[in-house]
Amino acid sequence: MGRKIVVIGGVACGPKAACRVKRLDPSCEVTILERGEEISYGACGLPFYLEGEIDDVKELTTTPVGVVRDVNFFKAVKGVDVQLNTEAIAIDRKAKEVRFRNVKDGSEGSISYDKLVIATGSSPVRPPIPGIDLDGIYCLKTLHDGVMLKKAMEEAKGKNAVIIGAGLIGMECLEPLLKAGFTVHVVEKLPFVLPALLDEEMAVPLMKHIQSKGVVLHVGDGVSSFEGEGRVAKVVTEKTEIEADLVLLAIGFRPNTKLAEDAGLRVGRMGIVVDAHLRTSDPDIYAGGDCVQSYNIVTGKPMYAPMGSTANKHGRIIGNNLAGWNSTFSGVCGTGVCNILGFNVARTGLTERDARGEGMEVLTSLCPAPDKPHYMKDAKLIHFKMVAEKYSGRILGIQALGPGEVLSRVDTAAALLKAGGTVDDCFETDMAYAPPYSPAIDNLIVAANVIQNKRDGLIRAYSPKEVKEKLDKGEDFIFLDVRTPKELEQMRLPYENVVHIPLGMVRKKASELPRDKEIICLCKISLRGYEAAKILESEGFDRDKIWLLDGGLVAWPYEKIVNM
């Protein structure tokens, strides 16, 4: 036999690395040590198992043709030995051995290696909150977690469920819990949902949508304790108390780095430190997946990105390098997508909050619009936000959400981020067009065009948040609403400083507007607002006083009078 390769961890990165190196170098002797009872499963499918879209949790362990990826499959098809229920407990780097323990009978042993792969993944965060060990409090990470949570849902059907944390896992579990008849509460410490993915002005439409489905949101509120006699019965927060028959703890994951730390490998705040080849500080040991820190290709700084897609890429690169190739991984940009109660939500790169936190000067655009031409009957709304560097125009991030199609737009943006693309590059990107799929000028390109206009001094715009601050301070300015009277009947702003002049009358009635006040032009999505602003400038108004409301009324997350 050839070199001995040992892989610690058997979910995503580990099996990928093992199978890849075995394909490239069949002479290798490859062994996977996995502490659980299952190997190579799709944990990201667990919310859909809870929902009933997947009948049997075992389907998450099968190939596309239905073959179960078990020990026998890996041995017969992949030529890889798998030892389940086997936990690696120590790495002796000098002797090049891994000490392991059988989690069922406690017996111990060791295995030698020439090259080692650490793919120990991550664990759910369980903070030391009083009562956290009560029965009825669940996490969702493994197949066993999914089975136990589904059983609990069936037993407590139609009662109160409380989700702690409004991140991806928590939000993806709203639908299965609602479909099971639960009254669902979500407790989130930060002031809005998906705080790691979205800016607040983008999260607000999503929160309104979630609340319209009957979910009770407790944002800006933290858990103080869990109460109950042996089993959770109540969640006590900083602001209220919530009856609870079932609790899902979904406040994030931490990389499993103890094994690497104990072995003296370099570990950072966000995981095991690896180089571009995914080598650790020991050249004979590689690491990948949720246990390592990645690098953000936008900032060049470390970040934690526990995604199944990234873990599989890591596994392929590690397998290549174990076989003697010279493959590298340049990093990630935090791309993610999910569906929340019929709303598609996606993002890549930095939020505006992230970018400003990095000290960057930015320009942003808010561009709510249909995902297809307005004349297509199945056109659906997308709320869209782009963040770009102020002077260079380099795209820093995209956020998109709504019932419309968002995935293709964000994936295109992710490719632009990888290439260091600018808003000008975005404009020139030859995206596919046909009315059943997109407008002639895609939503992504429209967002880039708005930033081009801002950069080039063609428009001046306030974000909804900036305008709301002006209102709260009592500043004296005018809202110029240029929509039609029919639109005004359906939805309008409830403020005394709103002046309504349809766009076609703005040029004629411009003299009726004050020239000594700021005028903030708006319409449904601010396309006509932009036209109105240019008309006022052409009529001699001081351009420093003419502004646009970014995103128009659709993007305005505050008070509105709606008569639909």
pLDDT digits (tens, 9 = 90+) for 477-516: 999 999 999 999 999 999 999 999 999 999 999 999 999 9
Cα 482 from Cα 528, distance rounded (Å): 7
Do 219 and 182 lie in a common domain? Answer: yes
Q: What is the mean pLDDT of residues 156-169?
A: 92
Task: Tell me whether residue 341 is in a domain.
Answer: yes
> How does DSSP assign 434-446, residue by residue?
-TTT--SS-HHHH
The predicted pLDDT at position 372 comes to 96
The predicted pLDDT at position 545 comes to 95
Task: Tell me whether residue 127 is in a domain.
Answer: no
> How does DSSP assign 486-523, residue by residue?
HHHHHEE---TTEEE--HHHHHHHGGGS-SSSEEEEE-
Q: Check which CATH number belongs to the domain holding 514 and give it.
A: 3.40.250.10
Q: Check which CATH number belongs to the domain holding 357 and give it.
A: 3.50.50.60
pLDDT over threshold 90, residue 449: yes
The predicted pLDDT at position 110 comes to 96
Percentage of residues of the chain with pLDDT beyond 90: 93
Do 41 and 83 lie in a common domain? Answer: yes
- Band of the pLDDT at 2, cuts 50, 70, 90? confident
Task: Tell me whether residue 549 is in a domain.
Answer: yes
Do 428 and 362 lie in a common domain? Answer: yes
pLDDT over threshold 70, residue 1: no
CA dihedral 80, 84, 89, 95 (to 10 degrees): -30
Q: What is the mean pLDDT of residues 116-122?
A: 97
Do 346 and 419 lie in a common domain? Answer: yes
User: Where does a domain end: 294, 322, 350?
Assistant: 322
Task: Tell me whether residue 493 is in a domain.
Answer: yes
- Band of the pLDDT at 564, cuts 50, 70, 90? low
Q: What tokens were used for 316? A: 């392929």
237 phi and psi, to 5 degrees?
A: -105, 180
pLDDT over threshold 80, residue 135: yes
pLDDT over threshold 70, residue 403: yes
Question: How many domains, the chain?
Answer: 4
Task: Tell me whether residue 194 is in a domain.
Answer: yes
Q: Is the dihedral of CA 299, 302, 304, 309 positive or negative?
A: positive
Q: In terms of C-beta distances under 8 Å and separation of at least 24 residues, what long-range contacts does 59-68 make, across chains too?
A: 60/143, 61/143
Q: What is the 3-state secondary structure (H, E, C) of 344-363?
A: EEEEEECCHHHHHHCCCCEE
Predicted model pTM: 0.92
Do 240 and 388 lie in a common domain? Answer: no
Do 553 and 408 lie in a common domain? Answer: no
Q: What is the identity of the amino acid at 335?
A: T
User: Where does a domain end: 251, 274, 298?
Assistant: 251
- Band of the pLDDT at 92, cuts 50, 70, 90? very high
Q: What is the mean pLDDT of residues 362-382?
A: 95
pLDDT over threshold 70, residue 464: yes
- Cβ 382 vs Cβ 525: under 8 Å: no
The model's pLDDT over 102-118, given as tens digits with 9 standing for 90+, comes to 999 999 999 999 999 99
Do 141 and 282 lie in a common domain? Answer: no
Catalytic residue among 13, 28, 44, 338: 44
Q: What is the mean pLDDT of residues 270-287?
A: 97
In sequence order, the 6+-apart residues with CB closer than 8 A to the CB of 90 are 98, 99, 259, 262, 263
Do 470 and 551 lie in a common domain? Answer: yes
pLDDT over threshold 70, residue 245: yes
Q: What is the identity of the amino acid at 19?
A: C
- β strands within 350-471, DSSP E: 362-366, 369-370, 381-389, 395-402, 461-462
Name the β-bridge partners of 137.
Answer: 247
The predicted pLDDT at position 305 comes to 87
Do 162 and 98 lie in a common domain? Answer: no
Cα 458 from Cα 461, distance rounded (Å): 10
The predicted pLDDT at position 158 comes to 74
User: Catalytic annotation on 13?
Assistant: no
The predicted pLDDT at position 562 comes to 84
Do 23 and 41 lie in a common domain? Answer: yes
Task: Tell me whether residue 126 is in a domain.
Answer: no
The predicted pLDDT at position 66 comes to 86
Do 218 and 246 lie in a common domain? Answer: yes
Q: Which domain holds residue 401?
A: 336-455
Percentage of residues of the chain with pLDDT beyond 70: 100
The model's pLDDT over 36-91, given as tens digits with 9 standing for 90+, comes to 999 998 889 999 999 989 998 889 999 888 888 989 999 999 999 999 999 999 99
pLDDT over threshold 70, residue 334: yes
Cα 48 from Cα 40, distance rounded (Å): 18
User: Where does a domain end: 455, 483, 511?
Assistant: 455
- Band of the pLDDT at 157, cuts 50, 70, 90? confident
**Average pLDDT score over the chain:** 95
Cα 65 from Cα 318, distance rounded (Å): 26
Do 312 and 382 lie in a common domain? Answer: no
Task: Tell me whether residue 151 is in a domain.
Answer: yes
- Band of the pLDDT at 399, cuts 50, 70, 90? very high
The predicted pLDDT at position 250 comes to 96
Cα 285 from Cα 119, distance rounded (Å): 11
Q: Which of 423, 446, 272 is nearest to 369 (CA)?
A: 446
